[in-house]
Structure 1
Amino acid sequence: MTEIDDVDRQLLRMLREDGRRTFSEMAPAVGLSVAAVKRRVDRLRDSGVIMGFTVQVDHAKLGRGIEAFVELSYTGTTPVGEIVRTAYEVPEVQAVYTIAGDPDALVHVRVRDIEHLQQVIDGLRRAGQVTGTKTLMVLGSWTRDA
């Protein structure tokens, strides 16, 4: 486990807000030199705390403004790889979480509208050894910064 301090947390927050932010922009905000900020970010990358830099997408502007989680239950003998494959092949699926207990998986989807959501759920129900589904619509979201 990598130890991080408040300055590291500030750097992580700033990079999450804008992954293209420069060391020169971040240095005055945390009270360090540009070289010190670079060393800290390099250390966070080298230790695996920062796994990469990415872009945030406004899915609504891409026509996928509805977000939901679908719980999937499978027959008791279904291997985890099959559970992941079932959902992975569906383009609307953003992530698949295999979980302990009932249900077996939680699938994050983004769709155009309710009719599209129904089509995706129907497709998931027909895939693999799915024995049941439950859908949870996202009304809003919040993410904790590092």
Structure 2
Amino acid sequence: MDDTDQKLISALRHDARASLSDLALLLGVSRTTVRARIERLRRAGEIIGFTVVLKEDALADPVRGLMMIGIEGRGADRIIRQLSGLSAVRGVHSTNGRWDVIAEIGTATLEEFDDILARIRRFDGVATSETSLLLNTRKSARS
């Protein structure tokens, strides 16, 4: 992936509906080049899809946070499945280092947020956790 591909991906993250003409102008290449690069990135699996973010999606989670989870034993797959089944969990990430899994959580109220944290802490195999509330998002793949 070269610098032009990186710029193309950045532009698509900002506006996935940008026209080929606008992208070509921004990148200083032809529309045909933009089309070919997008197709190549899709075939290579670098771009796996496009999405729409609705205003209501952004407003739906006024309380958001990241819960870092330490898992004892070999229960990571089971806990990831359990986390994925919770409607308040917006994302689940495996990681290295001190924490085994990071869960992105979004709720309407602090009380709901506290309830979901308590529920997750009761999962069999969750040894430790640490949670940080997200105060402000300056850049997101969704925006």
Pairwise TM-score range, normalised by the shorter structure: 0.7 to 0.9
* 1:33 alignment counterpart: 30
Instruction: Output the CA distance in 2 between the equivalents of 1:33 and 1:101.
Output: 44
The Cα of 1:12 is off from its aligned counterpart by 1.3
2:79/2:123 contact within 8 Å kept: no
1:44-77 CA distances to partner (integer Å, 9 max, x unpaired)?
A: 2122221211123454422x111101122333x2
How many pairs does the alignment contain? Answer: 140
Q: 2:89 aligns with which of 86, 93, 97?
A: 93
Q: CA RMSD in A?
A: 2.1
Does the residue aligned with 1:19 lie in a helix, a strand or coil? Answer: coil
- Secondary structure of the residue aligned to 2:45 is coil
2:46 matched residue in structure 1: 49
Question: What is the aligned partner in structure 2 of residue 108 from structure 1?
Answer: 104
Identity of aligned residues (%): 25
Question: What secondary structure is seen at the aligned counterpart in 1 of 2:67?
Answer: strand
CA shift, 1:121, in A, is 0.6
Relative to the length of structure 1, the TM-score reads 0.82
Give 5+ residue unaligned stretches, structure 2.
none
SS at 2:115 equivalent: helix
